[in-house]
Structure 1
Amino acid sequence: MSVSRIFAEEFDSKPKRIKGNILPILGFSDEDKIGTIRPHADALVVTLRIGGYEVRRVMVDQGSGADIMYPDLFRGLNLKLEDLTTYDSPLISFEGKVVIPKGQIRLLVQSGPEVVDVDFIVVDAYSPYTTIFTRPWLHALGAVSSTLHVKVKFHLGD
């Protein structure tokens, strides 16, 4: 059999079906920029349901690994210091200051129909945000975020 005939048979054959459950690729397009004001350097800020309450001013930070809760949200959720477990590793604030956490708490967080447990480190420091969500939350959802498009995407069933 000649090389050209092998080549022709190999590439003229019908595509083979891939078995398994394949999800569409998550991505962003120019259509996802519709409604955003450009150019911008805005943080990615969303609204989520945390501990059964709708919470605004939630910043999504891909560059961090610690989910942080600030005093406004802690008080707003009617949480008490007794609800916290020990967390004794210091953190560095946006101003570069060392912050000693008050403790840690696990709460349910709902994004659309998806619900995941999030371990928040509670700090007593100023922030314009109520909380910061990070890579562990994105990974738990299987989500992808884009600050350019000011969006978070994740699969919903099919």
Structure 2
Amino acid sequence: MTELDFDDLGPVDYLVIEFPADRIPDGSALPLLVDLVERDVIRVLDLTFVRKELDGSVSGVAIEDFGLTGDFDVTLFAEATSGLIDRTDLDEAASVLEPGCSGAVLIYENHWAAPFASKLRHNGAQLVATGRIPTQAILASLDALDAELKG
């Protein structure tokens, strides 16, 4: 990974993904992640894999040891580390995982927004809040609206 140019940095988000304990991850989403990177939509800052044991203990897992299957180079993101994730972050991320499950922690820059964010910062503006609307909440609202329009 190249050194970050913080002056041109876009908004940074994270995801914690849980993989079911009873299935080996097939890695089918990794090519989609690669596509987002190649199209400059996002820039992966960190991708770390963890395992939460049945006793609640947490351990890091190297991407090549994670057991991903599929026709792609699993080591493509092996070097994706910015140093932003520390042990406390891993423990916090793992706290949302069910015992016996594995997970991935992905920190990424919304690279598409970097020029916009940089211009705003140069004009003295700052991002003071962000948020996400869960997909399930949007779908429920659309279903309710549809029912109201039909009713």
Task: State TM-score, norm by structure 1.
Answer: 0.22
Higher relative contact order (CA 8 A, sep 6+): 2
Larger proportion of strand: 1
Higher alpha-carbon Rg: 1
Larger proportion of helix: 2
